[in-house]
Structure 1
Amino acid sequence: MSLDVAGVTELVERVAAEIVAPRFRSLTPQDVGSKGAGDVVTVVDTEAEAAIIQGLTALLPGVPVVGEEGAAADPGILRWLDAPLAWVVDPLDGTRAFIEGLEEHAVMVALLEHGRAVAGWICLPALGRTYVAERGAGATRNGERLDRAAPAEPITGAASAGLPEGWREALDSAPATEQIALDSRLWSGYFYSQVADGVLDSLVYARAHPWDHAPGAVIVRELGGAVLRPDGSEYLPGSPGGGLVVGSTPGAAKSVLDVLAS
């Protein structure tokens, strides 16, 4: 496989500039709908996903695409996550942030190889930043190579609302994780970028949807970090179950997991 990393970057940034950015803080009530209890969707989500799928299909013909909106309409496409190659697309990560006029929204794409994320793109159009990583090639922000700083002590980070029973209490009571903000709205693209930039050392998520985490997982891993399930196993986008710990280093992730297991 010959992956056109620059071509995917151009596609993601073009969709962000031409479909997402023009509607930022310009949505009408008719542009917003629902796809389930508490789960919103906009015309931007659906239009951006269609454009990304078209572009990815042109770049790698025959490779299936698992988009967030497509999976909502047909969960059966999730079977493609374990294909020899598959794309995962989050056309508008942080849809509610976008609706609320917050800058923490993103356009995200990942490439999977036999179920493992091997390339990832996170574009934050309102912030003017694009993160790209490919397995074995490191990670960049706006084309410049990133290096990850050592984690702080105690570990800084954020944990999402709706954590499994006992996790919130464990994080709140342990000295090692006293700097982890609880019950946060963790827009994945933005918060993975915070780890990549050295602002945060860890993230704790209640849910592990592939489109939310596959792109960021590649970026974090290429910077020497870890994305792990509660049992300490490596995060694979096609694996069922919730709960996810992101660490800027394997040691940071393990420290959080130790607290959760205590």
Structure 2
Amino acid sequence: AKQFTSGRIKAERKAGGDPVTEADIALDKVLRETLVQAGDGWLSEETLDDPVRLQKQRVWIVDPLDGTREFVEGIDEWCISVALAVDGQVVAGGICNPATDEIFLGSRQTPTTLNGKKVSVSQRADLQGATVLASRSEVKRGEWDRFMDGPLSVIPKGSVAYKLARVAAGLEDATFTLVPKNEWDIAAGIALVEATGGKVVDKQGRPFTFNNRKTLVTGMIACGPNMFDNLTTLLEINAQKTT
């Protein structure tokens, strides 16, 4: 990815309005050629979806460049996100941020590491002052205004995959989004968080399954095990106030 200069590359618009660059397309091609073995399925943001994947036991779920807006603007909050799902469950994930030289790796068999060093999710329970990563675009749209007066310390950051990786490494305490995301946005990050003992659920509090026909999911909440009940209670109370 470093052969492409962040902040100096033109972006086109996909049908849904999201930006796409030559880096997205090139990385998608390289990852598919490198990862896929005979019998594997493939689900990527930058590849036309093939329903044959639904019949596969092993499926690679990839976002070749998550945080394209940040990449285009020269902000170092973008990453390459790769997950392996087996029978609908993510079993391994890798997230690389070339701009910051960070590589997060983890699986059900191996602990999550950051640049080769073992890391763990935050063990914090108290919400007062807890660092929570928020989507830059959601903050700009005002969707986080109701959380800005406490008790959380809200930090805007690009790329949902990168946010999940940072939570998995204990660099911040939690992240959540209450708007829909696609499987490729969250699969690798969820694998990393779960590999360090963290908890991740959807907006309704349900665990995730992957390689579904419809790839859109209803939001996501991720944090360490000790904060989970407090954070989900806060979000439930907040949701009741806004309905």
Q: What TM-score results when the alignment is normalised by the length of structure 1? A: 0.77
Distance 1:148 1:28, change over 3 A: closer
Any unmatched runs of 5+ in structure 1? 1-19
Q: CA deviation at 1:246?
A: 0.8
- Pick one of 4, 11, 14 that aligns with 1:35: 14
Distance in 2 (alpha carbons) for counterparts of 1:152 and 1:82: 41
1: CA distance, partners of 2:77 / 2:158: 9
Q: Counterpart in 2 of 1:147?
A: 120
Cα deviation 1:210-243 (Å, max 9, x = unaligned): 1111001011111110111122111223365321
Q: Does the C-alpha gap of structure 1 residues 158 and 78 become closer, same or farther in structure 2, counting only changes over 3 Å?
A: farther
Query: Counterpart in 2 of 1:188?
Result: 160
The match for 1:62 among 20, 39, 55 is 39
The residue type equivalent to 1:150 in the other structure is Q
- Residue 233 of structure 2 is aligned to residue 254 of structure 1: no
Indicate conservation of the 8 Å contact 2:44/2:62, yes or no: yes
Relative distance call for 1:78 and 1:253 in structure 2 (3 A) is farther
Q: Deviations over 1:44-92 (max 9, x none)?
A: 10011011001112xx22201111111xxx34x3673673110011111
Call closer, same or farther: CA 1:63–1:96 in 2, change over 3 Å.
Answer: same
2:169 counterpart (197, 205, 208): 197
Task: Using the aligned pairs only, state the percent identity.
Answer: 26
The Cα RMSD (Å) is 2.5
The 3-state SS of whatever aligns with 2:106 is: strand
Shift of 1:208: 2.5
Query: By how many angstroms is 1:255 displaced?
Result: 2.0
Unaligned runs of 5+ in 2: 238-243
Quick one: distance in 2 between partners of 1:123 and 1:168?
A: 27
How far is 1:197 from its partner?
2.9
Alignment of 1:241 with 2:235, yes or no, is no
Partner of 1:224: 197
Structure 1 partner of 2:132:
157
Greater helix proportion: 1
**In the aligned structure 2, how far is the partner of 1:235 from the partner of 1:186?**
22
Structure 1 position 106 matched with structure 2 position 44:
no
Give, as a single letter, the amino acid of the residue that structure 1 aligns with 2:2: A
Asked if the contact 1:81/1:112 (under 8 Å) is kept, the reply is no
**2:2 maps to which residue?**
21
Alignment length (residue pairs): 228
